[in-house]
Amino acid sequence: MMTCSLAGLVRHFNNRISEAAAAWMMIGIAVLVVTNPAAADAHSFDLIGVAIVDDWLAPAFLTVGVVRLAALVANGSWPLYGPWMRAGGALLGALIWSQMCLSLVLLALPSPGIPIYAVLTGTELFSIYRALAGHNGRNQR
Amino acid sequence: MDAINDKAFAALGAYPIVQSAVAITILLGALYLVIRATRDKPTAPPPLPPHEPVPQWLMMGPLHDMMQSVHEVAEQSRRTNDLLREVKDVMSDAVRETQHARQTLELIRNESRMR
């Protein structure tokens, strides 16, 4: 059971804290776009805008973030689907961060966001492996 | 050079080719990692060193308790010896008093016979 203390959070999330951080980033981006729609015009979202219209940007980020966070919080209670949900969320995260990185590379080259999104993409890809490695269908954390 | 770059980027239009290439690369990478993850066995915790099956620090607590118990047993034995010594002294005094009383009684008896 997860307890809301620092030690409890460390115990629960263990080595999955990067996934939780990525989920909170997505939720934060959704909140930013909702509270300030002008944020959707940032260069980071230019290439994502090809696939997702601006009106659906915040709901898409919010959905992915909340689903990832739910999978992480309830992880262990869903031993069969939890790891696959985490892997799916990490894949979506990798696609999103890579497209944002590419947007900055192509449209706003000297941007400090480029290495950040690149590292996030790599971390998400590694999270896919971490979520599924050693998964035996039960007692998976 | 800038003109060539501009032409190249203009030819890409809205960068659909680069965008698709990156997305496909990410998907292929993810597929490779999923296959690797499902192949790899669960990671076991690292084994203990072979020559040290029980960590040394684990013995320090019981050893300390045992030494304290030995000290307590020695203290109790010392007190028991003191008590036994006192008992011996009291018994010696009692014997001495009894002998003295016997001699006194014998003297009384002899005195009474002489009369």
Number of structural domains in chain A: 1
* Assigned token pair, B23: 């997305």
Residue A108 sits in which domain range?
6-132
Residue A113 forms part of a structural domain: yes
Taking 90 as the threshold, does the pLDDT of residue B82 lie above it?
Answer: yes
Given an 8 Å threshold on Cβ–Cβ distance, is B26 in contact with A129? Answer: no
A138 is a domain residue: no
pLDDT at B106: 94
Distance, in Å, from the CA atom of A116 to the CA atom of A50, rounded to the nearest integer, reads: 22
> Which comes out higher in pLDDT, residue A107 or A13?
A107
Interchain contact A106–B (C-beta under 8 A): yes
Q: Is A39 on the interface with B (CB under 8 A)?
A: no
The verdict on residue A139 lying in a domain is no
Tell me what ipTM this predicted complex has. Answer: 0.73
Name the band, by pLDDT with cuts 50, 70 and 90, for residue A137: very low
Please check whether residue A140 lies inside any domain of the structure.
no
pLDDT at B19 over 70: yes
CB A132 within 8 A of CB B42: no
Closest in A50, A125, A131 to B19, CB measured = A50
B23: which residues sit within 8 A by CB, 6+ positions away? A95, A98, A99
Residue with tokens 């269908």: A137
Among A102, A125, A136, whose Cβ lies nearest the Cβ of B19? A102
The Cα–Cα gap between B52 and B45 comes to 16
What rounded mean pLDDT belongs to chain A? 81
Is there a domain that residue A125 lies in? Answer: yes
Q: Where are the alpha helices (DSSP H) in B1-115?
A: 2-11, 16-39, 56-114
| Residue A23 covered by a domain | yes
Residues from chain A that touch B9, judged by Cβ atoms under 8 A, are 106
pLDDT (mean) for A11-32? 85
Which of A102, A121, A126 minimises the CB distance to B18? Answer: A102
Helical residues (DSSP H) of chain A, grouped into ranges: 6-13, 17-35, 48-51, 57-73, 82-107, 113-132
pLDDT at residue B43, as a whole number: 60
Contact between chains at B43 and A135 (C-beta distance less than 8 A): no
- Give the C-alpha separation, A9 to A47, whole Å: 35
Report pLDDT digits (tens) over A44-82: 888 877 777 777 888 888 998 998 888 887 766 677 777
Inter-chain contacts counted by CB atoms under 8 A, chains A and B: 62
Structure confidence at residue B1 (pLDDT)? 53
CA distance B60 to B37: 42
Which residue of B lies nearest to A90 if distances are taken between CA atoms? B30
Residues of B within 8 A of A87 (CB-CB) are 34, 37
Whether residue A1 lies inside any domain: the answer is no
Instruction: Show the CA angle centred on residue A117, arms to residues A113 and A121, nearest 5°.
Output: 170
pLDDT over 50 (residue A138): no
Whether residue A141 lies inside any domain: the answer is: no
The answer to whether A87 and A124 are in contact (CB under 8 A) is no
Interface of B with A (CB under 8 A): 9, 14-16, 18-19, 22-23, 26-27, 29-30, 33-34, 36-38, 40-43
The structure tokens listed for A64 are 């992915």
Q: Rounded to whole angstroms, how far apart are CA atoms B17 and A112?
A: 24
Q: Which residue has the higher pLDDT, A77 or A87?
A: A87
A17-35 helix and A57-73 helix, angle to the nearest 10 degrees: 150
Among chain B residues, CA nearest to A100: B19
Provide the whole-model pTM. 0.60
pLDDT digits (tens, 9 = 90+) for B100-110: 999 999 999 99
Q: Do A128 and B37 touch (CB under 8 A)?
A: yes
Hey, are the CB atoms on A131 and B37 less than 8 Å from each other?
A: yes
